[in-house]
Amino acid sequence: MDKAQVFLYVIIFLFSLFSYMFLSKRKGESSIRAKLPPGSMGWPYIGETLQLYSRDPNIFFANKQRRYGEIFKTHMLGCPCVMLASPEAVRFVLVTQAHLFKPTYPMSKENLIGKSALFFHQGDYHIHLRKLVQGSLSLEALRHQVDDIQDIAISTLDSWASGGHVINTFHEMKKFSFEIGILTIFGHLEAYYKEEMKKNYTIVDKGYNSFPTELPGTPYKKALRARRRLSKILNEIICEKKEKNSLKKNLLGFFLNYKDDEKGGEVLTEDQIADNIIGILFAAQDTTASVMTWMLKYLHDDQKLLEAVKAEQKAIYTNNCHLTWAQIRNMPITYKVILESLRMASVISFTFREAVADVEYKGYLIPKGWKVMPLFRNMHHNQEFFIEPQEFNPSRFEDPPKPYTFMPFGSGVHSCPGNELAKLEMVIMIHHLVTKFRWEVVGSQSGIQYSPFPVPLHGLPARFFEEPTS
């Protein structure tokens, strides 16, 4: 054993000792006379992180729930955690007692997105920012963006079908979602700014889930530098919009027009605006792209269902004519396919919260400072709530699911404010895809990879072909 290994083991031992002392102290200080939930804390400090990331997380969580029930403890990513897998528990954490559980993210991720992003906050700041985002993404606002979103979808599909080459569907869907995000935030952005945003955002995206070391040349270090460049680009755009007095009803316009009357007309700083813009791009891109990739796979695997969706879409299709808002809101089969894709894929398997005080739930103690993780995927795949949950069956949504059993966009004050935009993207993409194109999956049609969101193996390699017009 060399000196470097000895040093590493000493560091791990010290971390383990500190973690153990901290947990013991917390349990001793608690004023609540309740016991911790059942479960295993795994190895000192390391906890069960390796078990989670070395296997399918669905199996990891399902095995835990079978063994310990709907509330259990574990230790991962250096943090003690309580995991919850019942509708009542999710409602308790995210809705009725949400003030006892603050949103929490690793510091490395906050540094890349920006500490002022709304989903890192609670209280008045979060309320004001959320209203601005919801205002720019309301149904009334989105109906005015339908034609522009369709133009992007048609251009994207044309590029996929040109030459019949194999594409990585997930990567291409990410590009599509990024374009929609830019449109929603800025409106029509100059080509130079769009390319600079895309180039630097891609670097930040690659470093987001990398090991957070600032050693030169590492993905995380490159991401930090690209994040600083993004701030400069955004500041240039903001200054230009102010000079031209071009404050339209997009998200940037909502941010720039905001004044807090309770604080003497205080406005958002450029850094606050930049953090929230980058946060919205992160929230909108990978998740939506993952679900759309899964939806293409599910339709490809069920040709009978695909024909039903085609029939619905072709009934309202007029050559070279865009969808109307009324048509978009009246696609029952397609919407059920979207909902079932959201359930099956469960791209957001869980969410992170942190207890801000000692909390008792059903006789169990959730100590202050512990992470709390409502497990959405466990409920979406629970046969008590969804019959034959591993089967892709859109007809199950002919009746609404029980409350707090289906939460693809979260729930409560921190639920996703962009859920209507995400569904609009999916509807428009599916319409133009099935009415004008066909596709075939290349290579293995099974398998899942996690990066970190679950996507079909290799991003679902596929070829797209334009259907001849009749």
| Helices H / strands E in the chain, number of each | 18, 12
pLDDT at 417: 86
Mean pLDDT over 116-126 rounds to 85
Q: What is the residue-averaged pLDDT of the chain?
A: 86
Q: Is the pLDDT of residue 229 over 70?
A: yes
Please write the tens of the pLDDT for every residue from 26-66.
444 455 677 999 988 888 767 787 777 666 777 888 888 88
Cα angle, residue 65 at apex, residues 294 and 68 outer, rounded to 5°: 170
pLDDT at 7: 42
Helix axes 303-314, 332-345, angle to 10 degrees: 140
Classify burial at 110, counting beta carbons within 10 Å of its beta carbon; exposed 0-12, middle 13-18, buried 19 or more: middle
DSSP state of 37: P
Please write the tens of the pLDDT for every residue from 70-115.
999 998 767 889 999 999 999 999 999 999 998 887 788 888 999 9
Please write the tens of the pLDDT for every residue from 242-268.
877 666 778 998 999 888 877 878 899
pLDDT at 428: 96
Name the maximum alpha-carbon separation found in the chain: 75
Question: Is the separation of the CB atoms in 461 and 440 below 8 Å?
Answer: no
Tokens encoding 22: 């901290």
Interatomic CA distance for residues 157 and 161, integer angstroms: 6
For residue 144, how many C-alpha atoms fall within 13 Å in the half-sphere facing its CB? 11
Tokens encoding 462: 């596929």
DSSP 426-464: HHHHHHHHHHHEEEEE-S----EEESSSEEEGGG-EEEE
Q: Is the pLDDT of residue 1 over 70?
A: no
Cα angle, residue 197 at apex, residues 195 and 202 outer, rounded to 5°: 100
pLDDT at 76: 79
Q: Is the pLDDT of residue 400 over 70?
A: yes
Cis peptide before 374 (omega within 30 of 0): no
81 is in an annotated binding site: no
Spatial CA neighbour of 24 closest among 371, 363, 367: 367
Helix axes 303-314, 419-436, angle to 10 degrees: 90
Please write the tens of the pLDDT for every residue from 138-166.
999 999 999 999 999 999 999 999 988 99
User: What are the Cα distances from residue 298, in Å, to 338, 341, 343, 344, 390?
Assistant: 10, 8, 12, 10, 12
Cα angle, residue 14 at apex, residues 13 and 18 outer, rounded to 5°: 120
Question: Is the separation of the CB atoms in 422 and 288 below 8 Å?
Answer: yes
Q: Is the pLDDT of residue 455 over 50?
A: yes
DSSP state of 416: -
pLDDT at 169: 96
- pTM of model > 0.85: yes
Spatial CA neighbour of 83 closest among 404, 351, 391, 436: 351
Instruction: Sheet with 437-441: list strands edge to edge.
Output: 167-168, 461-466, 437-441
Percent of the chain at pLDDT > 90 equals 56
DSSP state of 143: G
Question: In this structure, which topology does domain 19-114+349-380 adopt according to CATH?
Answer: 3.30.43
Which are the contacts of 418, defined by CB distance < 8 A and separation ≥ 6?
Answer: 133, 137, 280, 283, 284
pLDDT at 45: 67
Interatomic CA distance for residues 156 and 162, integer angstroms: 10
For residue 183, how many C-alpha atoms fall within 13 Å in the half-sphere facing its CB? 21
Please write the tens of the pLDDT for every residue from 175-228.
999 999 999 999 888 999 999 999 999 999 988 877 788 889 999 999 999 999
pLDDT at 320: 60
